[in-house]
């Protein structure tokens, strides 16, 4: 994942994956499960689950229900007499709130897991006995007592696993709690201060929106539970689809994509299917501005398209002349234009409707990247500017938390002519009549987090959503006004304003003071702020997005910090500080550094760690000092045991076998 994510931004249209970090948080949850249980705990869970499955596999044939699969871990495929008996079994089990899998060949699938108890197995055996008409049930407890766990020797794992100390240290709730807290304390989050990451929309995730996610009525449902058991979810899907269509101006919506990048892929595949349905399968050229996010060209390539890059002008807009020339050049094969609005440069492009009309004139479709919808909601819409399809980052504009990487939701909205091609699903009927293949394993993506966006929209209402957009734009322009005399603002619209985010130019400081944009980003940590987005979409710049969630007081603190850093740069420019030995070059300053017995730096400890009065009141201490970011971008750094340790373990395992 680390390699593929970097690849998008380095290789762009040559990338082999459009993967973003949308599922990192879920990966952390899974790894935490492994940390808590450790290798011995996971093995015990596996043995217990398999043992219960063995009890069921031994008991069912005694009731006249043969097990089809001779080898199994936790899942059995069982033969019932005929369709009538299968129907009777289904009615009986569902009356007891038990769902099984029912195959067309009168087979039944049963899967157990670590939440299954011996009492559950006894219940299942009793239900099968009842449907078979036998009066003799099977005693699950007696079967378990006489059961010997065994499996084919060739399937037995002999290699060691989870040998890192972290998987062998925290096996009580108290220890695990402290370990997780120690990790959490290393992260600066929205509980500490504003996270002004441009193009990320790090807004408030309100408690009222988050609480329903933990309700078992939402969290406990299986993705393939029968529709008649998920009526509440179905209403949520319908309402959310309707609201999102109203917000975007589109005619139909698919909730299936699990991330923005997956939404891009799904939307482009819908466009591809549309062209194919009209006999235009040759239309495979995607025009993409040079400023586009790295996932855009990567997604286009994954969708089988050929990427043609269009230029941007000095104001950050799409170069109209270059776009027109390339649209005309590739008119016969033009599939689509991928465009972000407001642009990735933080500007409302005045000619966006003319741009979309130009693409339509040449037979193409317009894909709008919804990354910047936080500047559109209630003021304009993708349909209004002329787009045919766009994805929405529910984890940005609509409040699903995504700090640290996910979980994401990237539903796509389309105009009526594209709705027949919305993603379908092999198990659950969804999507259009000429649906493209599923883009997620589950029919409605990560449905468990949709209540967050549902609650956000329901709580805000039409006026609230519009107000949020207005405040997001106002806050960005407030920061622009405060910083304008200290940092050049790279791009503005025709009226001299920015959209919901802005780019400040830090490139001149390299010549005047030897200060890189990275030095400014690191120094911000000492002031208690996460850095804005660095060197995207323009190298040597910072993209700042405050969102509507921040108060004027917080915006003032951030600007005060940025102005103080500009003054520190000025000290270098004026010769009051060394170019290579100054407070910016050594930032951030950890507690370990600040409290060291020796202090040999040409500035005070006070200046290093308490540069402004507000910092002292609630100091956030960075966990590590300066790291080599360029090296990290080019090299995958793993905090794992060295390769020699794996080689040593392999030799030891071979010796044990001998």
> In the block, which residue shows the tokens 């709690």?
177
Looking at the chain, the whole-number percentage of residues with pLDDT higher than 70 is: 93
Asked if the model's pLDDT at residue 315 lies above 90, the reply is no
Determine the pLDDT at residue 139.
Answer: 95
Whether 40 shows a pLDDT value over 80: the answer reads: yes
Over residues 473-490, mean pLDDT:
98
pLDDT exceeding 90 applies to what percent of the chain?
81
Per-residue pLDDT at 653: 57
Prediction pTM value: 0.91
Per-residue pLDDT tens over the stretch 492-548: 998 999 999 999 999 999 999 999 999 999 999 999 999 999 998 899 999 999 999
CB 385 within 8 A of CB 353: yes
The predicted model gives 453-466 an average pLDDT of 98
Least confident of 119-133, 553-567, 644-658: 644-658
pLDDT of residue 570: 98
What are the φ and ψ backbone dihedral angles of 504, each rounded to 5 degrees? -100, 140
| pLDDT score of 658 more than 90 | no
Task: Report how far residue 115's alpha carbon sits from residue 65's, in angstroms, rounded to the nearest whole number.
Answer: 24
Query: Could you tell me where the DSSP H helices lie in 63-148?
Result: 83-95, 118-132, 140-145
Detail the DSSP E strand segments found in 360-441.
365-369, 389-391, 412-414
Nearest Cα neighbor of 503 from 314, 375, 346 is 346
Separation CA 330–CA 519 (nearest Å):
44
Residue 120: closest CA among 151, 99, 145: 99
b/e code 141-175 from CB counts within 10 Å (16+ = b): eebbeeeeeeeeeeeeeeeeebeeeebeebeeeee
For 506-627, CATH number?
Answer: 3.90.1150
SS3 259: coil
For residue 555, the tally of other CB atoms under 10 A from its CB is: 18
107-117: pLDDT as tens digits: 999 999 999 99
SS3 content of the chain, % helix, strand, coil (to 5): 50, 10, 45
Cα 618 from Cα 48, distance rounded (Å): 48
CA angle 51, 54, 56 (to 5 degrees): 115
Contact between residue 252 and residue 274 where contact means Cβ atoms under 8 Å apart:
no
Residues 368 and 358: their CA atoms lie apart, in Å, by: 15
Q: How far apart are CA 447 and CA 443, in angstroms?
A: 9
**What pLDDT does residue 647 have?**
57
Give the model confidence (pLDDT) of 61-95 as tens digits: 999 999 999 889 999 999 999 999 999 999 999 99
Report the distance separating Cα 288 and Cα 367, nearest Å: 10
Q: Could you report the per-residue pLDDT of 523-537, keeping only the tens digit for each? A: 999 999 999 999 988
| Residue with tokens 């919901």, as numbered in its chain | 500
Half-sphere exposure in the Cβ direction for 27 (13 Å, CA):
11
The most confident of 145-149, 292-296, 489-493, by mean pLDDT: 489-493
Please write the tens of the pLDDT for every residue from 593-639: 999 999 999 999 999 999 999 999 999 999 999 888 777 767 777 66
Residue 628: predicted pLDDT: 81
The pair phi, psi for residue 75, each rounded to 5°, is -125, 130
State yes or no: cis peptide before 476, omega within 30 of 0: no
> Taking CA 428 as the corner, what is the angle to CA 426 and CA 429, rounded to the nearest 5 degrees?
95
Token couple for 291: 């400023």
Q: Domain ranges in the chain? A: 36-154, 231-458, 506-627
Per DSSP, the residues of 532-593 read -EESSSSTTEEEE---TTS-HHHHHHHHHHHHHHHHHHHHHHTTSS-SSSSTTTT-S--HHH
pLDDT tens digit string along 334-345? Answer: 999 999 999 999
Q: What is the pLDDT of residue 474?
A: 99
Question: If pLDDT is split at 50, 70 and 90, which confidence band does 16 have?
Answer: low
Q: What is the pLDDT of residue 148?
A: 83
Under the banding of pLDDT at 50, 70 and 90, the label for residue 553 is very high
Three-state DSSP state, 503: strand
Any idea which residue has 């699990």 for tokens? 258
- The answer to whether residues 424 and 431 touch, using CB atoms and an 8 Å cutoff, is yes
Residues 6+ apart with CB under 8 A from 645: none
Determine the Cα–Cα distance for residues 492 and 498; give it in Å rounded to an integer: 5
Would the pLDDT of 654 be above 80? no
- Supply the mean pLDDT for the chain: 92
pLDDT grade for 147, boundaries at 50, 70 and 90: confident
Q: What is the pLDDT of residue 421?
A: 99
With 80 as the cut, is the pLDDT of residue 23 above it? Answer: no
Nearest residue to 358 (alpha-carbon basis) of 381, 337, 383: 337
pLDDT at res. 195: 96
CATH class of 231-458: alpha beta
**pLDDT value at residue 637:** 72
Element at 300 (helix H, strand E): helix 295-302
Domain 506-627 in the same topology as domain 36-154: yes
Q: Distance between CA 46 and CA 317 in Å, rounded? A: 57
Token pair for residue 493?
């619209």
456 pLDDT above the threshold of 90: yes
Question: Which residue would you say has higher pLDDT here, 401 or 415?
Answer: 415
Q: Is 527 helix (H, G, I), strand (E, B) or coil?
A: coil
Over range 246-255, report the average pLDDT. 98
pLDDT (tens digit per residue) in 203-220: 999 999 999 999 999 999
**Phi/psi of residue 277, nearest 5 degrees:** -65, -20
pLDDT at 8: 54
* pLDDT tens digits, one per residue of 370-382: 999 999 999 999 9
Q: Coil, strand or helix: which one is 365?
A: strand
Cα(329)–Cα(309) distance, integer angstroms: 13
User: How far is Cα 506 from Cα 500, in angstroms, rounded to an integer?
Assistant: 20
Q: What CATH code is assigned to 36-154?
A: 3.90.1150.10
User: What's the pLDDT score for residue 7?
Assistant: 53
The pLDDT, as a whole number, for residue 648 is: 64
Tokens of 182: 């120690």
CA distance 523 to 625: 10
Judge contact between 305 and 284, C-beta under 8 A: yes
- Among residues 304, 301, 393, 322, the alpha carbon closest in space to that of 21 is found at 393
H-helix or E-strand spanning residue 57? helix 24-62
Return d(Cα 192, Cα 194) in angstroms, integer. 7
């Amino acid at each position: 994942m680390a390699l593929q994510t970097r690849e998008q931004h380095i290789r762009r249209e040559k990338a082999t994956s459009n993967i973003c970090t949308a599922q990192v948080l879920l990966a952390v949850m899974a790894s935490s499960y492994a940390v808590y249980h450790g290798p011995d705990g996971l093995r015990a869970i596996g043995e217990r689950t398999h043992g219960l499955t063995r009890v069921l596999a031994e008991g069912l044939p005694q009731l006249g229900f043969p097990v089809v699969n001779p080898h199994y871990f936790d899942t059995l495929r069982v033969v019932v007499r005929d369709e009538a008996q299968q129907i009777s079994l289904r009615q009986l089990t569902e009356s007891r709130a038990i769902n099984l899998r029912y195959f067309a060949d009168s087979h039944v699938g049963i899967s157990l897991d670590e939440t299954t108890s011996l009492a559950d197995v006894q219940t299942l055996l009793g239900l099968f006995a009842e449907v078979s008409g036998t009066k003799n049930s099977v005693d699950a407890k007696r079967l378990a007592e006489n059961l010997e766990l065994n499996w084919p020797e060739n399937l037995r794992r002999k290699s060691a696993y989870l040998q890192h100390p972290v998987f062998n240290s925290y096996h009580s709730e108290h220890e695990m709690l402290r370990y997780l807290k120690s990790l959490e304390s290393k992260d600066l989050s929205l509980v500490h201060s504003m996270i002004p990451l441009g193009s990320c929309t790090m807004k408030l995730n309100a408690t009222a929106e988050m609480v329903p996610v933990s309700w078992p009525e939402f969290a406990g449902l299986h993705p393939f539970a029968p529709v008649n058991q998920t009526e509440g979810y179905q209403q949520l899907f319908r309402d959310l689809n309707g609201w999102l269509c109203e917000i975007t101006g589109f005619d139909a919506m698919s909730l299936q994509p699990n991330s923005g990048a997956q939404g891009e892929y799904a939307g482009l595949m819908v466009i591809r299917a549309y062209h194919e349905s009209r006999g235009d399968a040759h239309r495979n050229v995607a025009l993409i501005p040079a400023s586009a996010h790295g996932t855009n060209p990567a997604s286009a390539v994954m969708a089988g398209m050929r990427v043609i890059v269009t230029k941007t002008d000095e104001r950050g807009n799409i170069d109209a002349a270059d776009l027109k020339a390339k649209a005309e050049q590739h008119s016969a094969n033009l599939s689509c234009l991928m465009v972000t609005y407001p642009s990735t440069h933080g500007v409302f492009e005045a000619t966006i409707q003319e741009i979309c009309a130009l693409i339509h004139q040449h037979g193409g479709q317009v894909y709008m990247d919804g990354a910047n919808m936080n500047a559109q909601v209630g003021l304009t819409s993708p349909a209004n500017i002329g787009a045919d399809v766009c994805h929405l980052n529910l984890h940005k504009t609509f409040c699903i938390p995504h700090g640290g990487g996910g979980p994401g939701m990237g539903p796509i909205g389309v105009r009526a002519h594209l709705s027949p091609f919305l993603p379908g699903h092999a198990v659950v009927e969804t999507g259009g009549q000429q649906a493209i293949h599923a883009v997620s394993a589950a029919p409605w993506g990560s449905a468990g987090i949709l209540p967050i966006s549902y609650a956000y929209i329901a709580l805000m209402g039409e006026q609230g959503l519009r107000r949020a957009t207005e405040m997001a734009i106002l806050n960005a322009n407030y920061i622009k006004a405060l910083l304008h005399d200290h940092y050049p603002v790279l791009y503005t619209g025709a009226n001299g304003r920015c959209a919901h985010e802005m780019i400040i130019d830090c490139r001149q400081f390299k010549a005047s003071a030897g200060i890189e944009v990275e030095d400014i980003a690191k120094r911000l940590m000492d002031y208690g702020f996460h850095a804005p987005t660095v060197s995207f979409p323009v190298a040597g710049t910072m993209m700042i997005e405050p969102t509507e969630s921040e108060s004027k007081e917080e915006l003032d603190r951030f600007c005060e910090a940025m102005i103080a850093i500009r003054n520190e740069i000025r000290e270098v420019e004026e010769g009051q500080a060394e170019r290579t030995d100054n407070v910016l070059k050594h930032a951030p300053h950890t507690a370990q550094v600040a409290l060291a017995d020796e202090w040999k730096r040409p500035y005070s400890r006070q200046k290093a760690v308490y540069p402004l009065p507000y910092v002292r009141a609630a100091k956030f201490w960075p966990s590590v000092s300066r790291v080599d970011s360029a090296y990290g971008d080019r090299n995958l750094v793993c905090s794992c045991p060295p390769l020699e340790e794996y080689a040593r373990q392999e030799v030891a395992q071979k010796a044990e076998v001998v």
